[in-house]
Amino acid sequence: MRHPNVAVVGATGLVGQEMVRVLEQRSFPVNALHLFASDRSAGKRVYFNREPVEVRELKSSAFDSIDLALFSAGADISRQYSPLLAKAGAVVVDNSAAFRMEPWVPLVVPEVNPGDLDHHKGIIANPNCSTIQMVVALAPLHKTNPIRKIIVSTYQAVSGTGSAAMEELNTQARQVLDGRQAFPHIYPHQIAFNVLPEIDVFLYNGYTREEWKMVEETRKILHAHEIAISATCVRVPVFVGHSEAMSVEFSHPITPEEAWEVLRHAPGVRLQDEPEISLYPTAWTAAGGNDVVVGRIRQDTALPNGLSMWVVADNLRKGAALNAVQIGEILVERGLYERAG
């Protein structure tokens, strides 16, 4: 089987850069790598396998040779170019929200529902970062003891908004420490030394779009539309690494010990649960890693058959770039990228 020609669209953004790094680190079988970005970034060079690759402006005329395209350039760009690439014979793995809830588009986390890739029609959606880490932790438990209810609060890093947000946090922190006033530009309020219970826009029901993504995407990925889910998503002054506090109600009684045994063998999960020595997942230690790290598993005192837990992952890697590359690995392994067109 020949190696695919791979494109990264949005190659100079935080997630796009991470995609290139992950492709190299995992020795992805690339025949040729094509990097695309806006006209502002065209001409830049990015090193891949010690060789410089020039970033080109995104134009549909360059799509003929692409077999697999990893998109991280925003929903508008994805809606415009993903169908064109798919029509040209490529398979698109899209990191935006453009196609996630389309019935004909698989929404895939490789550790959870890789079988959904068998029925792709040229476009595959990468889930929301917070959804990914939640379902990686919960899917193994759901298989052994079906979940009835999830109540989750997230603590999301500013890198989820992009490099400008990271710079704003850095600048504001210095301003505050110097006794100066910090002015928000990216977020509606100061993010330094603050927490903001607003990620994406507010919807008619009082939830934000980010919160509603977690509800709808989790049900689609798990093929379990009956699960009751309530999410509160909060932006915190952390650069990299999303954290989640979850209370989960199962169909049958379950103990922390039973959960530990399941998660100890779960793909993509690393247990870190020794609170007696203050060992539990943190955003700082999860950053740069591939695993979804789970700890503080305990009996929930409010929900019947319930457990509470704390889940952390690097939002740029497993929450975006790594998940997309893992999808690509399955497509190559199964020869599925050759079915498009």
Identify the structural domains of the chain with CATH numbers, from first to last.
5-126+320-339 (3.40.50.720), 131-315 (3.30.360.10)
Residue 51 is predicted with a pLDDT of 93
Helix (H, G, I), strand (E, B) or coil at 196: strand
Q: Which of the 8 DSSP states describes residue 289?
A: -
Catalytic-role residue among 34, 120, 142, 242 = 242
CA quadruple 222, 224, 230, 236: dihedral, nearest 10: 10
Residue 1 is predicted with a pLDDT of 65
Whether 5 contacts 88, CB under 8 Å: no
pLDDT of the chain, 341 residues: tens digit per residue = 689 999 999 999 999 999 999 999 999 999 999 999 988 888 899 999 999 999 999 887 777 789 999 999 999 999 999 999 999 899 999 999 999 999 999 999 999 999 999 989 999 999 999 999 999 999 999 999 999 999 999 999 999 999 999 999 999 999 999 999 999 999 999 999 999 999 999 999 999 999 999 999 999 999 999 999 999 999 999 999 999 999 999 999 999 999 999 999 999 999 999 999 999 999 999 999 999 999 999 999 999 999 999 999 999 999 999 999 999 999 999 987 764 44
Q: Strand runs (DSSP E) across the chain, as ranges?
A: 5-9, 32-37, 45-48, 51-57, 68-71, 91-94, 123-125, 147-156, 228-235, 242-250, 269-271, 292-299, 306-313
Residue partners of 103: CB distance under 8 A and separation at least 6: none
Q: How far is CA 304 from the centre of its chain?
A: 30
Burial of 259 (0-12, 13-18, 19+ CB in 10 A): buried
Catalytic-role residue among 129, 189, 223, 252 = 129
Residue 341 is predicted with a pLDDT of 42
Instruction: Pick the closest to residue 143 from 220, 226, 223, 213 (CA basis).
Output: 223
Whether 92 contacts 71, CB under 8 Å: yes
Burial of 43 (0-12, 13-18, 19+ CB in 10 A): exposed
Residue 2 is predicted with a pLDDT of 80
Is residue 129 part of the annotated active site? The answer reads yes
CA quadruple 75, 313, 318, 11: dihedral, nearest 10: 60
Q: How far is CA 99 from the centre of its chain?
A: 15
**263: region left, alpha or beta (phi > 0 left; psi from -120 to 50 alpha):** alpha
- Report the C-alpha gap between 248 and 303 in whole angstroms: 8
- Report the C-alpha gap between 198 and 200 in whole angstroms: 6
Residue 206 is predicted with a pLDDT of 97
How far is residue 116 from each of residues 145, 215, 235, measured CA to CA in Å?
Answer: 22, 19, 31
